Structures are given as structure tokens and as C-alpha cells.
Amino acid sequence: MARSDTGVGSGAGSPTAPSTTKTASSTVKQNNEQALGIDTLARGTLIAAALCVFMAQFALTVPAGLNGLFQQDFHTSASELTWITDAFLVPVTVLELTFGLLGDMFGRRRLLVGGSVLVAVGFVVCVLTPGPEAGHGTRLAVLWTGQIIAGIGAAAVIPTTLAMIAAGTHTPRARARSISVWAAALSMGSVLSPLACGLVAQSQFGSWPNSGWRWAFLVVVVLAAVSAVLAFVLAKDSKSPEGRSLDWPGQITIAVAAVALLFAVIQGPTSGWASIEVIGGFVVAAVFLVAFVLAERRSASPLLQLDLFANRNFTVAAIVTVVGMFCYLGTGYVTSIRLTAIQGFTPLKASLAFIVFNGVSALIQVPIASRLIERYDPKWVLGGGLLLLGAGDFWMASIPIGHQSVTPLIAPLVVAGAGVAFVLSAVTAVVINTVPHNLAGMAAGWTSLLRDFGFTLGPAVVGAIALSRAAHEISDKVASDPALGQALDTFNASAATAPDAQRETVEGAIAAVNSGPLGANAVPETVALPDGSTVPFNPLKDTAFQALGNAYSLGYLIVGLCAIAAAVVTVVLIKGDRPDTPVTAEAADA
């Protein structure tokens, strides 16, 4: 009897054996989960959150390796090409706060499932984009609409996954490890998306030329559908409704401010920075941002508690989040345009660069980045990551555009990718750990909004500066070279003398060359005649190629400088917290 009471030994007839076994099993399970940093977070929830954020990032990254195909299929201007990416990113940026709040109030699992379904629906719309017979404007409108719908779905998914993790872990140590798993899944989405899209985009879709990009969008449809099902089955619901209600004035004012600002930045190179619509966009953004601050001060349940900005760590981490993600996607966008739209590499060949860039990040986040965050002050991890990212950008800026291979970019992409790993893991942990536990949803929503605002600014700002620089360089070259100017005039007048069967093609080429640097680079310098000989065709081809190379090298430099500046700000201004400091019961219940 004493043996049974103490649990020493067990037999088939011992009434305490099952209890003892169960207790031991539970202890082992708990120890294993704590070793993994899961803490009280349900394993199924972590799996569902990781899969869904992987899917959302996969969808976001789809255009990266396809910009060349989009240019060939849609004959886009610079701003139109940027909008293919940003049509997805803008709703993500604008709506993440709203969905973070809705998840707090009504439960996060339904947002995870519904958001995944919307991503699938949006990409179905993209796949159904009409062919060339429908007209340029109509086709782009359908593609953008699908991206917007998918972006709305991703806006629900991204903050919800992070909020689920933040709400299910109660020490910075456990949270840092779980967030590292989340960040690794996000990075793996960036790694596998260009590769998968590059593989499937090699096949033509139906009878339309340059239509392989549709297969890439179908991959996302399947992935989003699977994510929705598994989220419904595996995820444990959570919510934090205390003191939370819909803040309509805040929702509306921040949404209008963000859309107006992004519109102005993206349209600047095409419409002109002094144009009415661009200046108007900046003015509207400023007015509604002020209105947002005033609305939040008066709200009983604000979308953002402005008192959070009294916390220096939160404020600096918020700024660094925007800059860091600007640098991350800015680097990826410059690399994408360089390899596909400028150098003309296939999506599959270009995907090698993204496998390196994002693959390095994904591989070192969990085994290295999370341990560094536990062992050292997170600001050093964050600052070091930004320094590595900046160093990689400076290195890539020094590589001439004439290299017709991905190989010279591999080493600097490894350096930059390592920097991204540390930035993604450290900055999210810093922001989440600066707020009370009951504000996890708000902090997650703002972290995701700031991250994706930086993502949106990356292509918009870097593309705007680079294309403006390239356009000026081409104009200066034409003005200073009379022979080139004469050749361009002759080319522009060639449609009038072209055979009837070729006139439409020639007119399209003339329009492309005069649409901007990317269009001028897309039209071949020579064309083949029926007898196999070639004749000069586009006089601006070489000039545009060199100008774009110089301009996007400048883009790398801008991103690198921003990363270095953010690293200095991080190290100087962020006050370090001990990674093993627990979230107090008072904070958790506040």
C-alpha cells in the first residue's frame, strides 16, 4: 500500500499506476514544450499560425519573380508594374489594425479561416484576368482587383497569427522562440514562392503568350485553401475583448491617410512630383494623420493607445520596424527588377537569387537568431542585423549591370539575408514585449501594420527614385547626342511607313519605348528579317539598359544607407530588457 501511495513501482492491479503514468507523461510533455519555447501555446495553434503566415507571405512574394512576365504580357508603365505588387500590400497595410481589433473582440480563429478563404478568392480572380483582346486597362483592373481582395484576406491573416502567439505565451523567452518559428515560416514563404512560381511559370497558360504567371497564382489558390482547412481544424480560438470596441473614426482616418500617402509615393514618378494628384495625396495624408491623432485622444476605446509612444522602446522599435522592412523588401524589389525586367532572366533563373536571400534568413532564425535574443540584449541583435543588411546592399550596388549571371549577387545576398533573419526576429519581439499582455492584439496589429507599411514603401520609394533617375539619365543622353536624338525621331516616325501587317506591332513598340525606362529596355535593339539578317530597331535599348543599371544600383545604396542609419538609432536609443523577465500577472490581467 505504501508503494502505491508513493508511486514507486507499478503493477497492473495498482490503482495509482495510471495516475502516476499520466502525471509523468504530462511532465515530460510540458518539459518538451517549454524546451521548444511553446510555453502554454497549443502546438496546433502554432502550426496553424505558421502555415497561414507562410501562405500570406508566399502570396505577397508572388510578383517578385514575375515582373518580367508582367512587363511582357501587360506592357506596363513603371507605376502600373509597381501597383501589381502594391495592390496586395496597400489593403494589408490599411486593414491590419482593424482585423487585429476584430480578432481581439470576436475571436481570432474565424479571422484566420476567413482571411485564408479571401486570399484564395482573390487569386482566382487574378487567374481569370482576360487575355490581350480585352484591352490594357481592363486587364490590369481585373488583376489589381484580385490582388486587392487577396490583400484584404492577408490583412486578416498576418496580425491574427502573431496575436495568437502573443496571447498564448507568457514570458519573453517563450514568446521569442515562438515568434522565431513564426518569422521562420514567414521567411520560408519568401523562399519557396519565387522557386515554385518560377517552375510553374515556364508553362504557357492556355493559348495566351507570356501567360505562365497564371499558374503561379493557382499555386496560391491551393495553398490558401489548405491553410483555411487546417486553421479551422488545428487552431485554438482566443480573444481579448476587455475594453475593446470598434473605433470607427480611428479606423477611417488612418486608412485614408495610409492610402493617400502610398498613392502619392507610387504615382510620383509617372504623374510628376509637382502634379496636382501627387501633391494632393500628400496633403490628404497629412490632414487625415492629424485627424487620426485627434480622434485617438478623444476615443474611449482607441485603435491605438497613444500613451504607448511614451515608451521609448515602443516608439523606436516602431520606427525601426518601418525602416527595416522598407530595406528588406526594397532589397528584394531592386533585385527582382534588375534580374527580370532589366536583364531579362526567366522567373526560374531569377528565383535562385531569392532562394539565397530568403533561404539564409529562414535557416538561421530559429536555431541562431532566437538564441541570440535570449542570450544578449535584443537591440544588439537588431542593430547587427541591420548592419549586415546594409553591408549586403552596398556590396550589390558595386556589381555592374553587365554581368549576365546571378552568381555575382550570391555572396552579398547571403550577407543581406542573414541580416534580415536577425531583424525579423528581434524587432517583433522588442515591440510585443513593450506592452501589457492584454494589449497583445493591439501591439500585434500595429507591428504587422508597420512591417507591411515598410514593405509597401520599399517598392514604391525605391522604384520611384530609381525610375526618375533613369528617366533623367536617358533624357540627358538623348539631348547631348544628336545622332541618338535623330535615330529616336526616325524610330518614332517609322509606323507611318511600316507594312500594314506590321504597323500595329511597330506602334506598340514605339509606345513602349516612349513610356519610360522599363518600356524602352523591353523593346529589342534589333529585329530579324525573313532572310535571317537583322536591322536596327530600338535606338534607346542600350541607353535604357545602362541607365536602369545605374539607377537601381542607386536603389541598393539608398536601402543600405537607411539600414545603417536604423542600426545606429537602434543601438543608441533602444533600452535593453532582460529576455527572461516574465509578464506579470498584473500586466496579463490589466
Identify the pLDDT of residue 589: 34
Mean pLDDT of 535-543: 90
Identify the pLDDT of residue 153: 96
Span of 80-84, 117-121, 167-171 with lowest mean pLDDT: 167-171
- Categorise residue 58: left if φ over 0, alpha if ψ from -120 to 50, beta otherwise: alpha
Identify the pLDDT of residue 435: 67
Identify the pLDDT of residue 74: 86
- What is the spatial distance between Cα 345 and Cα 148, in angstroms, rounded to a whole number? 28
How many percent of the chain have pLDDT more than 70?
A: 85
Q: How far is CA 253 from the centre of its chain?
A: 24
Span of 22-26, 110-114, 267-271 with lowest mean pLDDT: 22-26
Residue 195 has pLDDT above 90, yes or no: no
3-state secondary structure of 422: helix
Inter-residue contact 370 to 176 (CB < 8 Å): yes
Identify the pLDDT of residue 142: 95
Entry pTM: 0.77
- Cα 250–Cα 252–Cα 253 angle in degrees, nearest 5: 65
N- to C-terminal Cα distance for the chain?
48
Higher-confidence position of 323 and 497: 323
Higher-confidence position of 408 and 585: 408
- Categorise residue 39: left if φ over 0, alpha if ψ from -120 to 50, beta otherwise: left
Dihedral sign for Cα atoms in the order 129, 131, 134, 140: positive
3-state secondary structure of 371: helix
140: its cell numbers:
490590369
- What is the spatial distance between Cα 200 and Cα 335, in angstroms, rounded to a whole number? 21
Inter-residue contact 201 to 213 (CB < 8 Å): yes
Number of H helices and E strands in the chain, helices first, is 22, 2
Mean pLDDT of 237-245: 67
Mean pLDDT of 67-94: 84
What digits encode the pLDDT tens for the residues 250-271?
A: 889 988 998 898 888 878 767 7
Q: How far is CA 462 from the centre of its chain?
A: 14
Identify the pLDDT of residue 3: 35
Identify the pLDDT of residue 370: 73
Residue 32 has pLDDT above 70, yes or no: no
- What is the spatial distance between Cα 123 and Cα 197, in angstroms, rounded to a whole number? 13
- What is the spatial distance between Cα 303 and Cα 296, in angstroms, rounded to a whole number? 7
Computed over every residue of the chain, the mean pLDDT equals 82
Span of 105-119, 357-371, 391-405, 437-451 with lowest mean pLDDT: 437-451
Identify the pLDDT of residue 445: 61
Inter-residue contact 201 to 69 (CB < 8 Å): yes
Identify the pLDDT of residue 89: 86
Residue 138 has pLDDT above 80, yes or no: yes
Higher-confidence position of 173 and 419: 419
Question: Which amino acid, residue 302?
Answer: P
Span of 40-44, 156-160, 411-415, 564-568 with lowest mean pLDDT: 40-44
525: its cell numbers:
535593339
Residue 584 has pLDDT above 70, yes or no: no
Dihedral sign for Cα atoms in the order 83, 84, 87, 90: negative
Identify the pLDDT of residue 300: 80
What DSSP state is assigned to residue 36? T
What DSSP state is assigned to residue 340? I
- What is the spatial distance between Cα 59 and Cα 193, in angstroms, rounded to a whole number? 7
| Banded pLDDT at 33 (limits 50, 70, 90) | very low
Q: Count the alpha carbons within 13 Å of 76 in the hemisphere toward its beta carbon.
A: 24
Higher-confidence position of 70 and 389: 389
| Banded pLDDT at 34 (limits 50, 70, 90) | very low
Span of 148-157, 287-296, 438-447, 479-488 with lowest mean pLDDT: 438-447
What digits encode the pLDDT tens for the residues 436-478?
A: 666 665 666 677 678 878 888 888 889 888 988 999 999 999 9
Inter-residue contact 320 to 566 (CB < 8 Å): yes
3-state secondary structure of 493: coil
Residues of 469-501 as b/e, b for ≥16 C-beta within 10 angstroms? Answer: bbbebbeebbeeeeebeebbeebeebbeeeeee
For residue 534, what are the β-bridge partners? 528
| Banded pLDDT at 41 (limits 50, 70, 90) | low
Report which listed range, 254-258, 477-481, 585-589, is most confident: 477-481
Which of 219, 181, 213 shows the shortest CA–CA distance to 59?
219
Which residues fall within 8 angstroms of residue 376, CB to CB, at 6 or more apart? Answer: none
- What is the spatial distance between Cα 508 and Cα 118, in angstroms, rounded to a whole number? 36
Identify the pLDDT of residue 2: 38
Which of 199, 222, 195 shows the shortest CA–CA distance to 212?
199
Long-range contacts: 46-49, Cβ < 8 Å, 24+?
46/165, 46/168, 46/178, 46/181, 46/182, 47/230, 47/234, 48/112, 48/164, 48/230, 48/231, 48/234, 48/235, 49/112, 49/160, 49/161, 49/162, 49/164, 49/165, 49/182, 49/185, 49/235
Which residues fall within 8 angstroms of residue 400, CB to CB, at 6 or more apart? Answer: 549
Which residue ranges make up each domain of the chain? 38-238+301-473+546-589
CA dihedral 513, 519, 520, 521 (to 10 degrees): -150
Mean pLDDT of 91-114: 84
| Banded pLDDT at 167 (limits 50, 70, 90) | confident
- What is the spatial distance between Cα 168 and Cα 437, in angstroms, rounded to a whole number? 10
- What is the spatial distance between Cα 203 and Cα 69, in angstroms, rounded to a whole number? 12
Q: How do beta strands 526-528 and 534-536 pair?
A: antiparallel
Residue 211 has pLDDT above 80, yes or no: no
Span of 38-47, 164-173, 186-195, 416-425 with lowest mean pLDDT: 38-47
- What is the spatial distance between Cα 447 and Cα 93, in angstroms, rounded to a whole number? 10
Identify the pLDDT of residue 361: 81
Q: Which fold has domain 38-238+301-473+546-589?
A: Growth Hormone; Chain: A; (1.20.1250)
Identify the pLDDT of residue 583: 39
Mean pLDDT of 311-326: 86
Identify the pLDDT of residue 576: 55
Identify the pLDDT of residue 327: 95
Which of 373, 270, 333, 298 shows the shortest CA–CA distance to 558?
333
Radius of gyration of the chain (CA): 26
Higher-confidence position of 340 and 377: 340
Report which listed range, 178-182, 250-254, 449-453, 557-561, is most confident: 557-561
| Banded pLDDT at 418 (limits 50, 70, 90) | very high
For residue 535, what are the β-bridge partners? 527
Span of 46-50, 229-233, 533-537 with lowest mean pLDDT: 533-537
Residue 36 has pLDDT above 60, yes or no: no
Identify the pLDDT of residue 581: 43
